[in-house]
Amino acid sequence: MKTKQLSKFITSILTLCLAIAFVIKFAGPNILRQYISYGIGECKNIPILCMQPDEKLFSPVISPEYLAILVPQKFPKMSISAPKGFTLVQELIKKVYYKKRHVFNQATIYLLRQEPFAFIKLYPDVQKQGVKDNYEFIRRLMYANLKNVENITDAFFVIMKSVFTPDIGNQSTAKMIRFTINDKSGYINYTMAKPVNYFDCNVLDAQGNFFKVYIKDTGAQLDLNKVYGILSTIKPVD
């Protein structure tokens, strides 16, 4: 997951939204929803477009024993502790942590960090809609729902939701939750169906940094408690 590619792709989507804004301004919400459905997909084939996080706020208890077996790793933009057997990738940097006999292991953790106000700098127009920081941007994105699109701003966040959500397996069984861990909070979209679990973690710290931690858990080694343990170790590196 490359920051430059992500930014370029998202900027292209934003440009598309602005280009069609005049056409759809007077067409009404129904036409706008249909436009998105034709261009991206509908809820029946992309369920995440009509899903929202569970209203229950999860405050997990992190196991010190599990944290003790994680391997601390430092990248140019962030540090994190991860379980053995996973390949860690931040942009073009890759670190592999498994023995030669596990060379075909595809378990991978992809990492991305955006600094405070990064999304506002990329899309300053969203400030007019009350989006003032990374947390509000991600909150609006996670709660975006194709069925509730009423204007171009709603459409923008639905489109962004499709861009920001990587492969999480069978979306019909996916779950979305919001959580808090010490000084961090955020949202996790996940599916747990052997032989592969998927965890799309969107994490914000108290300083406003945004971290995307996408875990492809080949072999289904992890559960939510272990994922929370991994996320609790995230730190920005400047």
Percentage of the chain exceeding pLDDT 70: 82
Mean pLDDT score of the chain:
84
Query: Alpha helix (H) ranges present in the chain?
Result: 3-24, 29-39, 64-69, 118-122, 134-142, 152-164, 224-231
Nearest of 145, 184, 178, 137 to residue 14 by alpha carbon: 137
Confidence of residue 29 (pLDDT cuts 50, 70, 90): confident
Tokens read off for 88: 């860690």
pTM of the predicted model as reported, rounded to 2 decimal places: 0.83
Note the pLDDT of residue 25: 56
Rounded average pLDDT over 129-155: 92
Region 216-237 average pLDDT: 94
Q: What is the pLDDT confidence band of residue 140, given thresholds at 50, 70 and 90?
A: very high
pLDDT exceeds cutoff 60 at 4: no
Confidence of residue 92 (pLDDT cuts 50, 70, 90): low
CA separation, residue 182 to residues 12, 58, 84, 136, 234 (Å): 36, 12, 24, 19, 11
In this prediction, residue 13 carries a pLDDT of 59
Taking the C-alpha atoms of residue 82 and residue 44, their distance in angstroms, rounded to an integer, is 35
Structure tokens at 172: 């019909």
CA distance 65 to 33: 48
Rounded to 5 degrees, φ, ψ at 230 are: -65, -45
Q: Summarize the confidence of residues 65-79 as an average pLDDT.
A: 94
More confident residue, 208 or 105: 208
Q: What is the spatial distance between Cα 225 and Cα 199, in angstroms, rounded to a whole number? A: 12
